[in-house]
Chains A and B, each alone.
Chain A
């Protein structure tokens, strides 16, 4: 536990140094949020039948997705990608504790610190000026906060897997294209799941990515009522456990490969 917490803390402090980047990110995201809302408003103004979610809920979705954006596991933690490329990875193996939880700690700190720095100002801005509604109820708000913990853990467990893949292929370019699609689309970040055709929505609900955006968002707006939220939350945490096992297995395999074929 001591190595894990130490890495978590150090990585967190490291992220806090990037204040300028956080500010730039915040500005860009507010700008994009406003544009996306304008597009949705135009669609809704010309809708021929009643859309499955109200425009106010959609505006909330846009802001929540902008806040969650920085938490998405698009890639492994940047410094881990660099490690695989530069060969500094050998130092990771020179330690008396396993790689997995150290990497998980790095990814988790990265996925928590970035949204804290951008997310909190954005919630305030969007809530005051840009139409982010409040949670459907106090209980929904409480469950939403709980599901955010799940988002962070889920994002970290997926991030570590992207990093682990780099133990095989040094160039993560191909992977990055794939991860943008998997994470961006199947999580409901690009298009809310309720707006998808039924068959596609059902399909997405079976995937781990849904727990990244769809679950917290729908709990927030009340589309999943507090009484119905047990299932989605349970699936979110079940996937976390499955992906942790998968990541550990991958890293063990990758380590063995490195020790046989050289770094």
Chain B
């Protein structure tokens, strides 16, 4: 049975609009005009236990709104949603014991107190039994490698360490579901890689279902078995990264380094994307032109130094989808 089931979810916000112009702000005091915007517009999906789902979309697409509704702190305008059999906004108190959340730009730790004290506090707020708390705490400290930072006040932690502590804080009550809203935002490469590794371990070793929103496509490519793309309040793609690649474009890129400057020439079965004096980039469809065949053709015509074949960057594919939302529908 699905752990999370979302059906036809919509959320409309009323936004106060101030008349523009010199007297606009004055008139705004007396008569407010409201405009309705739809943050979510009939969104449906379901998630199975143990999945690690990447949830992406351009700014304002409705990602945060979805997460807020799933965590019970926002009531949708219409639609239904069930998380472990509970309706998040109607049964919020019971529901929130089942979920953990990390919001990259917010903190749930007490700024002025050592990390450890925030953990203690959470264990009391969730009324976690002492022996169980001790076990979970030890396991999390081990997985996240936190031992040396427990007695540091949160305000003195670097962002990378703070995010790890946030992860631990979100999991102390052993929720089966974890929401991560841009957890890698602002992290340096080392911290980012470490955090990804931790998220993967938590998912695999503790079986936590993870929903991750991010703008960093490397997060998605390296972590997520499933990718959901949302735009204008609706899901436009739901599948694996490979499927996404295939559904947008199957093309690969062949980059050729040349021994000496050469003028552009046409190669059968490939198109030139870029040509600099010592480097040429071709795009081709491997279903039509087999890779070895293409390489042979090129080697016969050009003075090869080196070459490499790549899939287009996931980042680029997503950017193309954001720009042209009909790309997937066709």
Which residues in A have some Cβ–Cβ distance to B below 8 Å?
Answer: 2-3, 5-7, 10, 13-14, 17, 79, 86-88, 90-91, 93-98, 102, 258-263
Is the C-beta of B323 less than 8 angstroms from some C-beta in chain A?
no
Shortest CB-to-CB span from A49 to chain B, Å, is: 50
Interface contact B106-A96, CB-CB below 8 Å: no
Closest A-B pairs by Cβ, 7 of them: A6-B124, A91-B108, A96-B97, A3-B125, A93-B73, A259-B75, A14-B112
Q: Report the Cα distance A12→B74, complex, angstroms.
A: 32
Is the C-beta of B237 less than 8 angstroms from some C-beta in chain A?
no
Interface contact B125-A6, CB-CB below 8 Å: yes
Interface size classification for chain B:
20 to 34
Interface contact B124-A262, CB-CB below 8 Å: no
| 9 interchain pairs, CB-CB under 8 A | A10-B117, A93-B72, A93-B92, A94-B73, A98-B93, A259-B73, A261-B13, A262-B65, A263-B68
Interface contact A13-B106, CB-CB below 8 Å: no
Of the listed residues B73, B112, B127, the one surrounded by the most CB atoms of chain A closer than 10 A to its CB is B73
Interface contact B108-A10, CB-CB below 8 Å: no
Q: Report the Cα distance A94→B178, complex, angstroms.
A: 12
Q: Please give, as numbers and ranges, the residues of chain A lying within 8 Å of B65 by CB-CB distance.
A: 262
Which listed residue (B89, B99, B110) contacts A10, Cβ 8 A? Answer: B110
Q: Report the Cα distance A98→B125, complex, angstroms.
A: 10
Interface contact B73-A97, CB-CB below 8 Å: no
Interface contact A262-B96, CB-CB below 8 Å: no
Q: Please give, as numbers and ranges, the residues of chain A lying within 8 Å of B71 by CB-CB distance.
A: 90, 94
Q: Please give, as numbers and ranges, the residues of chain B lying within 8 Å of A94 by CB-CB distance.
A: 71-73, 96, 99, 101, 108
Shortest CB-to-CB span from A84 to chain B, Å, is: 13
Q: Report the Cα distance A97→B123, complex, angstroms.
A: 12
Interface contact B112-A86, CB-CB below 8 Å: no
Q: Please give, as numbers and ranges, the residues of chain A lying within 8 Å of B45 by CB-CB distance.
A: none
Q: Please give, as numbers and ranges, the residues of chain B lying within 8 Å of A5 by CB-CB distance.
A: 124
Q: Please give, as numbers and ranges, the residues of chain B lying within 8 Å of A87 by CB-CB distance.
A: 106
Q: Which A-chain residue is minimally distant from B100 (CB atoms)?
A: A94
Is the C-beta of B322 less than 8 angstroms from some C-beta in chain A?
no
Q: Please give, as numbers and ranges, the residues of chain B lying within 8 Å of A90 by CB-CB distance.
A: 68, 71, 73, 103, 106
Interface contact B97-A7, CB-CB below 8 Å: no
Q: Please give, as numbers and ranges, the residues of chain A lying within 8 Å of B289 by CB-CB distance.
A: none
Shortest CB-to-CB span from B90 to chain A, Å, is: 11
Q: Report the Cα distance A262→B74, complex, angstroms.
A: 6
Q: Report the Cα distance A6→B119, complex, angstroms.
A: 11
Q: Report the Cα distance A87→B112, complex, angstroms.
A: 18
Interface contact A17-B112, CB-CB below 8 Å: yes
Q: Report the Cα distance A90→B70, complex, angstroms.
A: 13
Q: Which B-chain residue is minimally distant from A90 (CB atoms)?
A: B73
Interface string of B56-87 (1 = CB under 8 A from A): 00000000010010011111000000000000
Q: Please give, as numbers and ranges, the residues of chain A lying within 8 Å of B89 by CB-CB distance.
A: 259
Is the C-beta of B14 less than 8 angstroms from some C-beta in chain A?
yes
Interface contact A88-B106, CB-CB below 8 Å: yes
Shortest CB-to-CB span from B15 to chain A, Å, is: 10
Interface contact B127-A2, CB-CB below 8 Å: yes
